[in-house]
Structure 1
Amino acid sequence: MSTIHLTTVINSEIHKVFDLARDIDLHQKSTSKTNEKAIAGRTSGMIELNETVTWRAKHLGFYQTHQSKIIEMEKPYRFTDVMLKGRFKSFRHQHLFKKEDQNTIMTDILEFESPFGIIGQLFNYFFLKNYMKKFLLERNKMIKNTAENNRINS
């Protein structure tokens, strides 16, 4: 199992950051490099508790689908999504939000496991964990820019 723990400080109101983090349209803009599109379930707007979204994106040269479901939500402090169908053996992403002075501290805890036993573990260690971290950093950069500047940077 691999775990990525990221913290992003955003100079914006907690409700705004929380909503941007679950905005399907903003997510698609932040993942334009992988041509990620919501193709089933919730495909635009803000995802809610017990809703699903199926993503289609080109990762590592191949188009893949990933279906996730929001299994926990406490507005505006946290929500958690888990993979229902996809390439991972397991995938759980916790999104945590905390107000600190005029800032919102946004924390991502992503836990995932690849299939294929030891080969999957080696792939995680040598490549996938860093790839996923960069993917999240791009997404968080767009959330931060949008929240702080009221604009979306492409």
Structure 2
Amino acid sequence: MNIIFATLGIWIIATLSIFAFIRRSERQDPQGKGPGIIAITSALLALPVAAMMGGILFALAGSVQVVGWLFDLEISSGKVGIFVIAVLVYLFSIDSLVEIFLKSVMGKSVTGKLVLLFTRVLAFYIIGLIVGAQDETALPVAAGLAVMLLVMETLFRLLKKSGKDSGSEGRRRRNV
């Protein structure tokens, strides 16, 4: 239920942001659109953003639940929701900066990936403790979620790379 409310909150914030942007742009046009059209347009433009963020929240919550099931951990759904929202905020803010810093210092090496993994485990552990999880629960959940994110990112990059390669091979076959 927390995921639904979080997604709804994201949709409302995105709608208001888009509305303000469009309204500010329309003030310069003397024949601008009315506020009703702008509201409908901004609400529709915010739907894909909210859907994507809701999907990410759902995947993170599922990953946390799977880790809890694998290690037989007791995690309440309220704590999972708050933990997942905090992790999402971390991933889209501080983690992006850490990842850029590590890529600039270490490049795209395996060591850089391991340092990023360790950083995520530490951050997720601290988030778990702030949310109120016990030490015995926070560490396995943090490690499991960080490993699952690393695996998902690696699989996504491999899929993206194989998609580019297969497209170029198909064009070569047609030309021959």
Q: Bigger radius of gyration, 1 or 2?
A: 2
Greater per-residue strand proportion: 1
**TM-score bracket, shorter-length normalisation:** 0.3 to 0.5
| Structure having greater relative contact order (Cα 8 Å, sep ≥ 6) | 1
TM-score under structure 2 length normalisation: 0.33
Greater per-residue helix proportion: 2
TM-score under structure 1 length normalisation: 0.36
